[in-house]
Amino acid sequence: MNAPRRLAVLIFALALGACSPQKAEPLKAKAPAGPPPALAWAYPDAPEAPLPDYPPGPQHLPGIDRVVSSAELNDPAHPVDWTPDRHPAPPAVVGHRRPGGPAPCAECHFYNGVGFVGAADLAGLPAGYITQQLAEFRSGRRVSSQRANRPDTEEMIAVAKGLTEAEAAQAAAYYASLPRRPFVRVVETDVAPAARANHWGWQELIPDAPPQPLNGGVVEVAEDWPRMLLRDPRTGVVAYVPRGAIARGEALVRTGGPAAQPCASCHGADLKGREGVPPLAGRSPAYLVRMLWDIKSGARSGPAVAQMLVPVSDLTPAQIIDIAAYLGSRTP
């Protein structure tokens, strides 16, 4: 399958980890508990279907002085880099698939680390945390709470197993060097544009369909789907969350919720991370929900999540949504 039809959401590392991951003992993964009905939207189960074809002929994006051919857009071994002058020179593993090697990182995370809708935001994550998470994927200590592993998780496990140690270190150092930028717009509402699940885990708008009630969930879609499909690194996502979620989430984050362990105690007062602890502010709410539940359910284990087990243990699905909404609304 070619790049625009795969666009697999390669989940690398997300900042839900640890205060001192190096000192924690590795934990063995257990059989995870599947997501509850209230979080089913975060684990969409849909058959694989092709994405729309690119418009015929050469393509360009507003404000970028470059023309890209359809052959370039359809080359999964060499993801298009629309803005090579706006980031450091990437290592080969980020932008090219070596013979017999795994998918290049930029296929889903782009060259700026933000990536396709639903993908993990890698920009500015500590390099050690990224390499640690690659090791967790390889070891089987990081899977999905979905009954059968999500396709994107299976893809990431395969990528992690296909990387050499040098490639993993190079990719981690590259993405750690990139600045973080706002790419999530959180909107509180009772209804949201109608959306359907994609096989790879993200949501797509349903053209001409009436708005749908949120019913306590989250609808997260690309701000501009045609530009996202063309792999525009400047576009982002909009997350529709329940009314009042941001304020409720702020209270939970500040107090620590049932466990009384405030997020700032490890992730910094501004939730932008510190030392080896990854940032939380400005991340995708849908992705945060999955990671919190995956930790709670046992799908994520190992030293990087050891300190998270107590904080998430008594969180309800509604509280997880509220926390994710608040964190997503913060400036990265």
Q: Domain of 8?
A: 3-329
- In this prediction, residue 26 carries a pLDDT of 43
- In this prediction, residue 56 carries a pLDDT of 77
Q: Residue ranges of the chain with pLDDT lower than 70?
A: 1-31
- In this prediction, residue 250 carries a pLDDT of 98
- In this prediction, residue 330 carries a pLDDT of 98
CB 178 within 8 A of CB 205: no
> Read out DSSP for 70-93?
HHHHT-TTS---S-GGGSPPPPHH
Run of H or E including 196: strand 195-197
The total of structural domains in the chain comes to 1
> The whole model's pTM is what?
0.89
Amino acid identity, position 321: I
C-alpha distances in Å from residue 25, one per residue of 6, 131, 266: 36, 17, 18
b or e along 264-279 (b: 16 or more beta carbons within 10 Å of the residue's beta carbon)?
eebbbeebbbbebbbb
- In this prediction, residue 182 carries a pLDDT of 94
